[in-house]
Structure 1
């Protein structure tokens, strides 16, 4: 099974590569920055070439308004690039698409970040993939190349917050990037049709199932 992967150099995407390598899964990175992997596609998402044939695609693209440099640049990544990748993947034969979104995604939200995440989820759901898995993690734990002071503080505080977070709100808690990556690889092996959304608890459960089944 060949998996196309957008966002391979990011926090979650780089860990997807690591998990896939340990399980001998073939992944073809697609993006603007090279990973050094054989067969990768290095191109701008605004002008993607024809992608290699594949049945599954994972999109781990994402940024913040601050890192992107403004609202328009943010939407260019979190909506335009994601949509471009999904269309190119579908043209390459992909029938199963997996997206790393975020908790709180809502096309009707007054917050640009949550609204954009919700809008791309809605757009993907209308594309006709046989199966669409949308992961909506809370705070993603892991080292980032760019220092984000507030996020770094929240990551440091996350274990304490999670201790006091009521079970019904645990989807707003923290989840390690490695768990998200493992869940993505586990879900990539599923074939039941439909649109599925996964929050923290299910993400961690899928990751644990993967490790239990391969060890």
Structure 2
């Protein structure tokens, strides 16, 4: 069932995927304001994120076992918004089965724990909401593994009946730094073409910073209607103001 409004609480955010390209940009975005938008930002991670930006004291990092999130379920409580930028690729995972487990099953397990831990703490002013960074072309009925898994995640989180669900579908992600030494041949070949204003204008490339800002803007929108919303590249760019 959907979250039932009760009493007010200071806004707090949970981030899954904080060590990735979009996640790092998101952490900076959530903590950039003075005073920051959230009283606390909790990042659930395998290893700690190296963050030395503003409002560092409001960043809480929790090392968790994604294979067995249930034992770390207490970390999900006390947050009204969960941002998920978590993801991998088949090549990085090692196989199709491993990709589905990491990319889909870990995310859905976390989403369920977040919903269960906070359903009774949502308020009219601070609804329980889940934001997911998906991919352009995501479709649960796609023949392509990556797009199918992203689409399956989208449908599943929508059916969990959060007060609000925001699905963000960026185009080719223009990153701000190398991805931890990971060798992605296609990305290295495409980046010179995609990392320019024309590609963004044509809807072919989305900067990770734009995704991060759009997610924060969407989550903090005043008097937002309940329900599910999907934002494609042009919507992300408009929401980000970039």
Structure 2 residue 137 is the aligned partner of structure 1 residue 104: yes
* Cα separation, 1, equivalents of 2:156 and 2:46: 23
Structure 2 partner of 1:58: 83
CA contact (8 A) 2:18 2:43 kept: yes
Structure 1: give runs of 5+ residues left out of the alignment. Answer: 210-215
Structure 2 partner of 1:72: 97
Q: How is 1:65-214 mapped onto 2 (pairs within 5 angstroms)? A: 65-93=90-118, 95-142=128-175, 143=177, 144-145=179-180, 146-159=182-195, 163=198, 170-171=202-203, 173-190=204-221, 191-208=224-241
Structure 2: give runs of 5+ residues left out of the alignment. Answer: 1-10, 51-55, 120-127
Q: Which segments of structure 1 move beyond 4 Å, counting only runs of 4 or more?
A: none
CA contact (8 A) 2:41 2:60 kept: no
The Cα shift of 1:205 comes to 1.2
* Cα separation, 2, equivalents of 1:29 and 1:46: 17
* Cα separation, 2, equivalents of 1:164 and 1:184: 21
| Bigger relative CO (Cα 8 Å, ≥ 6 apart) | 2
The one of 67, 70, 75 aligned to 1:46: 67
Aligned length: 204
Q: Which moved more, 1:120-129 or 1:88-97?
A: 88-97
TM-score where L is the length of structure 1: 0.88
* Cα separation, 2, equivalents of 1:149 and 1:90: 38
* Cα separation, 1, equivalents of 2:29 and 2:95: 33
TM-score where L is the length of structure 2: 0.78
The residue matched to 1:134 in structure 2 has which SS?
Answer: strand
Identify if the C-alpha distance between structure 1 residues 159 and 31 changes in structure 2 by more than 3 Å, giving closer, same or farther.
Answer: closer
Structure 2 residue 28 is the aligned partner of structure 1 residue 3: no
* Cα separation, 2, equivalents of 1:32 and 1:102: 23
The Cα shift of 1:47 comes to 1.8
